[in-house]
């Protein structure tokens, strides 16, 4: 049993074979999926998937790259969505200074607003943070995200930053990058993290693990990620599956 904490099966990359791809992932041993919204439309599509499949849960939120046109009314909409039974997190939200668009002040404003929403509706947050470690940490701290908890998804920082987020009560999302030969830093971080603070994810359709690197990613490839974590930690695949599954259940409540 593998828990997929971050997938985008609503993405247009799955328009041709969505149901089949989901069935394949289930056949590969994935029994629970959090489909993560990256925009308002993506949040709606995530809820639709959660309505259709009992194995699916939804996260609703707006990704930093999509936040330029957000309004207070949109935050109100997210609040309505968040009240639904199968919505388990606010995300993905955060800061992306790699693409660096829209401008940082706008990203920060809507990141903070969505953390405040998470606190209000008492849901954890799923964080996208790229080349923005310190600002991410500072805003989470200022907005009291230690009260919501959540996941630093697709973690790309070092052990020192990881420790700070662990101290705030967060889980670290580990995906396909951990299988890349040149992913020295992430392998080190996985070695450092206690297993009971790691959650597994693909971020599909992006970031396919080795040996599928470069292809469309899907949750069916989660076993490659689990295997790599098991190798780094020197424990069995079953142990990684069980502990990371329990971690996700503890965080999302189901």
CB-CB contact of 8 with 31 (8 Å):
no
CB of 137 to Zn ion, least distance (A): 20
CB of 36 to Zn ion, least distance (A): 5
CB of 37 to Zn ion, least distance (A): 9
Q: Is 4 in the site for Zn ion (CB under 5 A)?
A: no
Counting residues that bind Zn ion (by CB under 5 A) gives: 1
With respect to Zn ion, which residue has the nearer C-beta, 97 or 233?
Answer: 97
Instruction: Take residue 24 and report the two structure tokens written for it.
Output: 């394949």
> Binding mask 174-213 vs Zn ion (x if CB under 5 A, - otherwise)?
-----------------------------x----------
With respect to Zn ion, which residue has the nearer C-beta, 63 or 187?
Answer: 63
| DSSP collapsed to 3 states, 67-131 | HHHCCHHHHHHHHHHHCCCCEEEEEEEEEECCCCCCCHHHHHHHHHHHHHHHHHHCCCEEEEEEC
With respect to Zn ion, which residue has the nearer C-beta, 143 or 203?
Answer: 203
With respect to Zn ion, which residue has the nearer C-beta, 4 or 241?
Answer: 4
Q: Which residues bind Zn ion (CB under 5 A)?
A: 203
């Amino acid at each position: 049993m593998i828990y997929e904490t971050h997938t985008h099966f609503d993405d247009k990359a799955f328009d041709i074979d969505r149901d089949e791809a989901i069935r394949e992932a289930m056949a590969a041993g994935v029994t629970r999926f959090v489909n993560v919204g990256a925009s308002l439309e993506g949040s709606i599509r995530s809820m639709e998937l959660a309505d259709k499949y009992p194995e699916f849960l939804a996260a609703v939120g707006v990704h930093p790259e999509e936040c330029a046109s957000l309004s207070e009314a949109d935050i109100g909409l997210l609040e309505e969505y968040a009240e639904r039974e199968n919505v388990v997190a606010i995300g993905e939200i955060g800061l992306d200074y790699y693409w660096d668009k829209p401008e940082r002040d706008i990203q920060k404003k809507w990141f903070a607003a969505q953390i405040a929403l998470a606190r209000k509706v008492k849901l954890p947050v799923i964080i996208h943070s790229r080349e923005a470690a310190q600002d991410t940490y500072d805003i989470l701290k200022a907005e009291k995200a230690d009260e919501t908890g959540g996941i630093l998804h697709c973690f790309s920082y070092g052990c020192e930053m990881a420790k700070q987020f662990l101290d705030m009560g967060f889980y670290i999302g580990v995906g396909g990058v951990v299988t890349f030969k040149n992913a020295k830093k992430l392998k080190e971080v996985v070695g450092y993290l206690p297993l009971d603070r790691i959650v597994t994810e693909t971020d599909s359709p992006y970031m396919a693990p080795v040996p599928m690197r470069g292809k469309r990613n899907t949750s069916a490839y989660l076993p490659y990620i689990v295997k790599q974590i098991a190798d780094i930690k020197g424990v069995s695949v079953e142990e990684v599956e069980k502990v990371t599954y329990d971690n996700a259940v503890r965080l999302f409540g189901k």
